[in-house]
Amino acid sequence: KAGVTQTPRYLIKTRGQQVTLSCSPISGHRSVSWYQQTPGQGLQFLFEYFSETQRNKGNFPGRFSGRQFSNSRSEMNVSTLELGDSALYLCASSFLDMNSPLHFGNGTRLTVT
Amino acid sequence: GESVGLHLPTLSVQEGDNSIINCAYSNSASDYFIWYKQESGKGPQFIIDIRSNMDKRQGQRVTVLLNKTVKHLSLQIAATQPGDSAVYFCAELYGGSQGNLIFGKGTKLSVKP
């Protein structure tokens, strides 16, 4: 079974631009979550989608948004990029809910210059 | 050892020895705990989980111990191998909601041949 796939692996953007990251969950997984990982803050929860609906949201500004499609694939968008948005963005999927463990992709490394 | 929210500590062990990685969790209401392994350039990989109604759980070469009295979690790796070199994260969850999944900052395990 294929794992969680994230594209692209690397991105370089300029301040003020916007970016869209993509995630394909493990087949059969309906929950998709997004995390930001930085050396200083570690892994921080952005949001979770289940059946195309945002089920949970972390403490990030509204510039961070996401969506989930009917095939469970998900995208996240960051608008008006800031230097501090440079991070590894990780997508994770799980079968149903938090009674099953998260399976992470290898992430998208975003660099904002 | 590590505590959720502290800087990244390092553990160095000899190949073949047993490793113990510690984690002090923050919320006494947390009822689900997970250990992840993250290798360089990859996303976190699920290792083992344990629920609060258990004290110990064993996997292949790994054992997780939970001491709810002192809010302490540990991961034991038997016969540590070079391939075990990675950053290990503990995570705690309360209330079953993804938004309440809190990751520690991680412990870097280095295995000397």
- Are B109 and B11 a contacting pair, CB within 8 Å? yes
State yes or no: pLDDT of B43 exceeds 90. yes
pLDDT single digits (tens) B49-84: 999 999 999 999 999 999 999 999 999 999 999 999
What confidence tier does B7 reach under pLDDT thresholds 50, 70, 90?
low
Select the residue of A33, A45, A101 nearest B46 (Cβ to Cβ).
A101
With a pLDDT cut of 90, the percent of chain A lying above it is 81
Select the residue of B42, B93, B104 nearest A106 (Cβ to Cβ).
B42
- Residues whose CB falls within 8 Å of the CB of residue B101, separated by 6 or more in sequence, listed in order: A45, A98, A102, B91, B92, B93
Candidates A53, A12, A92, A49; CA nearest to B91 is: A92
Cβ contacts of B41 on chain A, cutoff 8 Å: 106
- Are A49 and A93 a contacting pair, CB within 8 Å? no
Q: Answer whether A58 touches B (CB < 8 Å).
A: yes
Select the residue of B32, B97, B106 nearest A42 (Cβ to Cβ).
B106
Tell me if A43 and B46 make a contact (CB, 8 A cut-off).
no
Query: Using CB atoms within 10 A of its CB, is residue B53 exposed (0-12), middle (13-18) or buried (19+)?
Result: exposed
Cβ contacts of A106 on chain B, cutoff 8 Å: 41-43
Cβ contacts of A4 on chain B, cutoff 8 Å: 43
pLDDT single digits (tens) B80-110: 999 999 999 999 987 766 667 889 889 999 9
For chain A, how long is the longest CA-to-CA vector? 39
State yes or no: pLDDT of B2 exceeds 50. no
Distance CA A98, CA B4 (A): 20
- Are B64 and B74 a contacting pair, CB within 8 Å? yes
